[in-house]
């Protein structure tokens, strides 16, 4: 069994985005595919009634515990991932709601094995990124006070930041998630930077596992140039397809997916090739713009 998990821990339009993302997976995984489990952690299970998904209500006590001593909401996602890995002992992907599958999740899980993990895409080295949250985190790393949670070695600002809109981990590597949480808390104790857990996960997975991107399988439309206009039509789109069967609804919804223009897709591919060759022309930007 393989797990596809979503974590919604604050109110907002996220339930609609998750509903859309689920249907993008349903396109490839009909009910006859009994080897997949869909789980949504959320404040209220009512928002996902009628969908082929298990729901788990967080509850205030669990949210507070998982947010940790610094009350950091994104720490909840790490605990959610770790909880599912412990509960089921199966390969698990935790995916942001503002996503859709471009190809079958089967391709995604082929990249997840003991010692092999996935994140969405490599954004670049911390020292090369120019958004303020990246500059703040790089400056903190340069002080030499942020250390590997196991070896104690200082973590340099040359380490990479990955986009964590998709996190895929095998249960054999659950210890790496525990170390990610420890590193997250270490950074938060010095500076409550918004992308702290994203960097901690990037560092731990890249140094403990063979880490691969998966942007060829999942499209992550976190950037507001995609997300804002899509949110304006998503409510009506879901309402107009609500009475359709799952398969037909999935096809109708997919036809309205947000996507990059052809020039942008070509540029992204070129930048990916250059990045693999060690040529860095542009810096990434954080996924949490709204």
Q: Exposure string (b/e) for 161-198, b if CB count within 10 Å is 16 or more?
A: bbbbbbbbbbbebbebbebbbebbbbbbeeeebbbbbb
Q: Rounded to an integer, what distance in angstroms lies between the CA atom of residue 161 and that of residue 149? A: 17
Which DSSP string do the residues of 188-204 spell out, in sequence order? HTT---TTHHHHHHHHH
Q: Say if residues 223 and 289 touch (Cβ distance below 8 Å).
A: yes
The SS3 call for residue 41 is strand
Per-residue pLDDT of the chain (290 residues; tens, 9 = 90+): 999 999 998 777 899 999 999 999 999 999 999 999 999 999 988 989 999 999 999 999 999 999 999 999 999 999 999 999 999 999 999 999 999 999 999 999 999 999 999 999 999 999 999 999 999 999 999 999 999 999 999 999 999 999 999 999 999 999 999 999 999 999 999 999 999 999 999 999 999 999 999 999 999 998 888 888 999 999 999 999 999 999 999 999 999 999 875 445 454 455 445 444 544 444 444 554 33
Q: Among 5, 33, 184, 30, which Cα is nearest to 99's?
A: 5
Angstrom distance (rounded) from CA 63 to CA 47: 18
Burial class (CB in 10 A: 0-12, 13-18, 19+), 277: exposed
CATH 3.90.550.10 corresponds to the domain 2-276: yes
Element (H or E) spanning 220, and its range? strand 218-220
pTM comes to 0.90
């Amino acid at each position: 069994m393989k797990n596809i998990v979503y974590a919604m821990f604050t109110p907002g339009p996220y339930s609609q985005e998750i509903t859309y993302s689920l249907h993008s997976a349903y396109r490839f995984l009909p009910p006859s595919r009994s080897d997949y489990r869909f789980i949504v952690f959320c404040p209220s299970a009512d928002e996902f009634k009628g969908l082929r998904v298990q729901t788990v209500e967080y509850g205030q006590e669990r949210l507070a515990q998982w947010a940790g001593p610094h009350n950091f909401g994104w720490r909840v996602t790490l605990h959610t991932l770790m909880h599912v890995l412990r509960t089921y002992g199966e390969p698990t992907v935790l995916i942001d709601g503002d996503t859709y599958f471009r190809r079958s999740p089967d391709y995604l899980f082929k990249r997840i094995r003991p010692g092999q993990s996935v994140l969405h895409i490599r954004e670049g080295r911390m020292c090369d990124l120019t958004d303020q949250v990246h500059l703040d985190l790089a400056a903190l790393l340069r002080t030499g006070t942020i250390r590997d949670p196991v070896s104690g070695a200082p973590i340099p600002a040359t380490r990479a930041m990955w986009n964590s809109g998709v996190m895929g981990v095998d249960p054999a590597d659950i210890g790496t998630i525990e170390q990610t949480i420890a590193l997250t808390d270490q950074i938060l104790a010095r500076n409550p930077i918004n992308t702290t857990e994203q960097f901690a996960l990037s560092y731990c997975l890249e140094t403990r596992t063979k880490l691969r991107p998966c942007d060829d399988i999942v499209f992550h439309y976190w950037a507001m140039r995609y997300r804002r206009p899509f949110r304006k039509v998503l409510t009506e789109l879901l309402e107009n397809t609500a009475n359709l069967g799952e398969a037909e609804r999935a096809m109708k919804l997919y036809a309205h997916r947000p996507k990059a223009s052809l020039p942008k897709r070509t540029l992204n591919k070129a930048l990916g090739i250059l990045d693999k060759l060690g040529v860095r022309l542009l810096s990434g930007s954080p996924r949490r713009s709204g």
